[in-house]
Amino acid sequence: GQQLNQSPQSMFIQEGEDVSMNCTSSSIFNTWLWYKQDPGEGPVLLIALYKAGELTSNGRLTAQFGITRKDSFLNISASIPSDVGIYFCAGRGYGGSQGNLIFGKGTKLSVKP
């Protein structure tokens, strides 16, 4: 079945640093979504991408839908403490699974000690 690899699994950030994470899939997707989840809460949608090559920003967040349709990245510029949390990519494929999202395992952002 379709699989998503999200990396890195975790990372530590210092306030002001830029952060980058990405997802790759084993098959072509028609949609990429990026979510953030805080402890005890549901995932909150950050950015939605629907076209290959699409580059979309939401404040300090920028995400791109890869040209091959098999990958996407999320960048966070000038990180702040409230960026801490778990970020998930999610993709939707074609055919019989249309509508069903597949989620990556998440990238956990923590503050550097």
Q: Is 48 in the site for other proteins (CB under 8 A)?
A: yes
- Residues binding other proteins: what is the number (CB under 8 A)? 26
Q: Which residue has the tokens 């953030």?
A: 36
Distances (CA, A) of 38 to 6, 31, 62: 18, 23, 19
Q: Is 41 in the site for other proteins (CB under 8 A)?
A: yes
Q: Is 113 in the site for other proteins (CB under 8 A)?
A: no
Which CB, 85 or 104, lies closer to other proteins? Answer: 104
From first CA to last CA, the distance across the chain in angstroms is 39
Sign, Cα dihedral of 13, 68, 63, 101? negative
Residues that bind other proteins (CB under 8 A): 30-31, 33, 35, 40-45, 48, 50, 88, 90, 92, 96-106
